[in-house]
């Protein structure tokens, strides 16, 4: 329950306001003078101070100034009578959250109070997340409180100091390279090189010479001797990314090298010994590749000594608020902006989205939102509109038997509206925002599709 301190030298006001705010579900404390109020501010965990302006011996402005010295974040709402509006402006400049003109309607007060308390709640929630980030739920710069990520941290702690080969699997953007680096930088090899090679997009010959190097004249174009990545990683860690793409012939050679860590450069005679810790990653299901005969079983077993699987972000939504706080902090700092929070609306959307591009896509969305946001809060409007995409819409259409254009468009429209409603927990104003249409337009379409 949130606690509000009410300060007014008119006792009647204290009674009436106290009763009204209690009815709204707040705990209330009252003080009929500013010095008492200050003592309460110091000794109590408050969520809002609602204070009158004209009081003696200390007036509301002075009280505000003192409160802000003690606790700059605690919101203060000023109650001002007619004729003291200039004072209200001064109060705003001193950091009051808002002011309300006396006499006021209960409804007006309710709105101001809810806004102030809500904003403070969000700020505290954000602080809490940042605190959690700073200790419990992170490993280096890897963030996660979900069971699966905590288990990943445990494995890293256990195997980092060993020389065990680790196979890291997971969809694109789940953080495979980040994990590989964490293993290296937490190992005794941290001061030696971390060398990453992508096994995709290179022909067999090029990949072979990339890995093992070549002698001068080994093939056309080999105008000078070149060391391979195995040699460059000597003493350190070699990270073979997209290992599932290694061509069959090279898989044999790779296996042989991994067995005894010796090889010859392409076109060379001399055997080279290296001391390399091997990490590998793939977004393919390597076991299925083995079963399909596309990946050698013996190489698979050689790589899969320790297995770390990173689940897609949509399967660990507990991590979303932490990741949001982490990236909001990172990009706010980069943009030299102050602390940023994420609005409840935006957070709900972030948690419900499927994130096909996983953490990478998520990170870009937050980076962009930080740049677009006007104030110190990321709102629903700051998130990319194309997140509301078709990719995961599961259209109830049979594409080989398309109906007329209007029928087809109607079906798509209906699914989009249903998705927007689901993403916004059936709050129509938010759904309309996501869809980029006015609220009354959404009403019309809901009726049209029998969705109300
Ligand atoms: N748990 C996490 N905490 C913080 N940042 C993360 C986390 N997971 C991923 N990231 C960030 O997301 C981005 C993508 O991560 P990374 O490049 O490691 O993914 P990947 O699995 O290697 O993707 P791909 O298969 O496409 O190569 C990076 O900027 C990384 O720092
Ligand atoms: Mg990668």
DSSP-derived secondary structure for 35-80: HHHHHHHHHS--SEEEEESS-SSS-HHHHHHHHHHH-TTS-EEEEE
Residues of the chain with CATH 1.10.8.60: 314-387
Q: Measured in angstroms, how far is the CA atom of residue 168 from the centroid of ligand 2?
A: 10
Does residue 150 have its Cβ closer than 6 Å to ligand 1?
no
Beta bridge partners of 280: 167, 240
Does residue 175 have its Cβ closer than 6 Å to ligand 1?
yes
CA 416 to chain centre: 25
pLDDT for 427: 86
Q: Which atom of ligand 1 is nearest to the CA of 176?
A: 21
Report DSSP letters for 310-339, one per residue. E--GGG-TTHHHHHHHHHHHHHHHHTT---
- Tell the residue nearest (CA) to atom 13 of ligand 1: 360
Ligand sitting nearest the alpha carbon of 309: 1
Q: Measured in angstroms, how far is the CA atom of residue 362 from the centroid of ligand 1?
A: 10
Q: Measured in angstroms, how far is the CA atom of residue 25 from the centroid of ligand 1?
A: 43
Architecture field, domain 399-448? Orthogonal Bundle (1.10)
Q: In sequence order, which residues have a C-beta less than 8 Å from that of residue 419 and are 6 or more positions away?
A: 388, 393
Architecture field, domain 3-127? 3-Layer(aba) Sandwich (3.40)
Measured between alpha carbons, how far is 194 from 307 in angstroms, rounded to an integer? 20
pLDDT for 431: 87
Does residue 170 have its Cβ closer than 6 Å to ligand 1?
yes
Q: Which atom of ligand 1 is nearest to the CA of 174?
A: 21
Architecture field, domain 138-310? 3-Layer(aba) Sandwich (3.40)
Does residue 373 have its Cβ closer than 6 Å to ligand 1?
no
Residues of the chain with CATH 3.40.50.2300: 3-127
pLDDT for 138: 81
- Tell the residue nearest (CA) to atom 23 of ligand 1: 173
- Helix (H) or strand (E) segment spanning residue 211: helix 204-212
| Radius of gyration of the chain, Cα coordinates, nearest whole angstrom | 31
pLDDT for 89: 85
Q: Measured in angstroms, how far is the CA atom of residue 317 from the centroid of ligand 1?
A: 16
pLDDT for 394: 59
Q: Measured in angstroms, how far is the CA atom of residue 320 from the centroid of ligand 1?
A: 14
- Tell the residue nearest (CA) to atom 30 of ligand 1: 175
Ligand sitting nearest the alpha carbon of 176: 1
Instruction: Please give the CATH number for the structural domain made up of 314-387.
Output: 1.10.8.60
Q: Measured in angstroms, how far is the CA atom of residue 307 from the centroid of ligand 2?
A: 16
Ligand sitting nearest the alpha carbon of 180: 1
Which residues, given as ranges, of the chain have pLDDT below 70? 134-136, 386-402
Residues of the chain with CATH 3.40.50.300: 138-310
Ligand 1: residue of 153, 177, 355, 365 to mutate (most ligand atoms within 8 A of CB) is 177
Does residue 228 have its Cβ closer than 6 Å to ligand 1?
no
Does residue 173 have its Cβ closer than 6 Å to ligand 1?
yes
Ligand 1: residue of 133, 155, 174 to mutate (most ligand atoms within 8 A of CB) is 174
Q: In sequence order, which residues have a C-beta less than 8 Å from that of residue 322 and are 6 or more positions away?
A: 129, 132, 133, 137, 143, 144, 145
Is residue 376 classed as helix, strand or coil in its secondary structure? coil
Q: In sequence order, which residues have a C-beta less than 8 Å from that of residue 102 and are 6 or more positions away?
A: 79, 80, 81, 82
Ligand sitting nearest the alpha carbon of 141: 1
Q: What is the DSSP letter of 385?
A: G
Ligand sitting nearest the alpha carbon of 358: 1
Supply the pTM of this predicted model: 0.74
Measured between alpha carbons, how far is 425 from 282 in angstroms, rounded to an integer? 36
Does residue 359 have its Cβ closer than 6 Å to ligand 1?
yes
Q: Measured in angstroms, how far is the CA atom of residue 240 from the centroid of ligand 2?
A: 10
Q: Measured in angstroms, how far is the CA atom of residue 172 from the centroid of ligand 2?
A: 7
Q: Measured in angstroms, how far is the CA atom of residue 347 from the centroid of ligand 2?
A: 27
Contact 129, 325 (CB under 8 A): yes
pLDDT for 126: 85
pLDDT for 386: 64
Does residue 244 have its Cβ closer than 6 Å to ligand 1?
no
pLDDT for 401: 60
pLDDT for 378: 94
- Tell the residue nearest (CA) to atom 26 of ligand 1: 172
Q: Measured in angstroms, how far is the CA atom of residue 250 from the centroid of ligand 2?
A: 21
Measured between alpha carbons, how far is 319 from 317 in angstroms, rounded to an integer? 5
């Amino acid at each position: 329950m949130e606690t509000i301190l009410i300060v007014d030298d008119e006792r009647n006001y204290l009674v009436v306001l106290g009763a009204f705010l209690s009815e709204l579900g707040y705990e209330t404390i009252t003080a009929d003078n500013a010095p008492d109020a200050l003592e309460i501010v110091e000794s109590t965990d408050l969520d809002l101070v609602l204070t009158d302006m004209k009081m003696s011996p200390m007036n509301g402005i002075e009280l505000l100034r003192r409160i802000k010295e003690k606790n700059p974040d605690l919101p203060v709402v000023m109650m001002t009578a007619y004729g003291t509006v200039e004072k209200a402006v001064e109060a705003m400049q001193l950091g009051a959250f808002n002011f309300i003109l006396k006499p006021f309607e209960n409804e007006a007060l309710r709105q101001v109070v809810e806004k102030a308390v809500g904003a403070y709640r969000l700020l505290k929630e954000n602080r809490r997340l940042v605190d959690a980030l700073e200790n419990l739920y992170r490993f280096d710069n890897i963030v996660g409180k979900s069971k699966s990520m905590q288990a990943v941290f445990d494995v890293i702690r256990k195997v980092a100091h060993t020389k065990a080969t680790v196979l890291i699997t997971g969809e694109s953007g789940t953080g495979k390279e980040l994990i590989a680096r964490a293993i290296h930088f937490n190992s005794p090899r941290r001061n030696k090189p971390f060398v990453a090679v992508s096994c995709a997009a290179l022909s067999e010959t090029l990949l072979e010479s990339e890995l093992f190097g070549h002698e001068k004249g080994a093939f056309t174009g080999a105008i000078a001797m070149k060391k391979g990545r195995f040699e460059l990683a000597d003493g350190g860690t070699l990270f073979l990314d997209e290992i599932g793409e290694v061509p069959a012939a090279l898989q044999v050679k790779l296996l042989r090298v991994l067995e005894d860590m010796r090889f010859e450069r392409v076109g060379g005679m001399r055997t080279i010994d290296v001391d390399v810790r091997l990490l590998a990653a793939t977004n393919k299901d390597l076991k299925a590749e083995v079963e399909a005969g596309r990946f050698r079983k013996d190489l698979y077993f050689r790589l899969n000594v320790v297995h770390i699987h990173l689940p897609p972000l949509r399967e660990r939504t507990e991590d979303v608020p932490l990741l949001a706080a982490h990236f909001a902090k990172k990009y706010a700092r980069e943009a030299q902006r102050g602390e940023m929070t994420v609005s409840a609306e935006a957070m709900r959307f972030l948690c419900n989205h499927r994130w096909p591009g996983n953490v990478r896509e998520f990170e870009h969305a937050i980076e962009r939102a930080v740049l677009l946001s006007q104030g110190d809060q990321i709102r629903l409007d700051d998130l990319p509109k194309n997140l509301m995409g078709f990719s995961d819409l599961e259209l109830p259409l049979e594409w080989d038997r398309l109906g007329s254009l209007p029928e087809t468009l109607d079906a798509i429209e209906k699914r989009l509206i249903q998705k927007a409603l689901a993403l916004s927990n059936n709050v129509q104003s938010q759904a309309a925002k996501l869809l980029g249409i006015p609220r009354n337009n959404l009403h019309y379409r809901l009726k049209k599709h029998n969705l109300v």
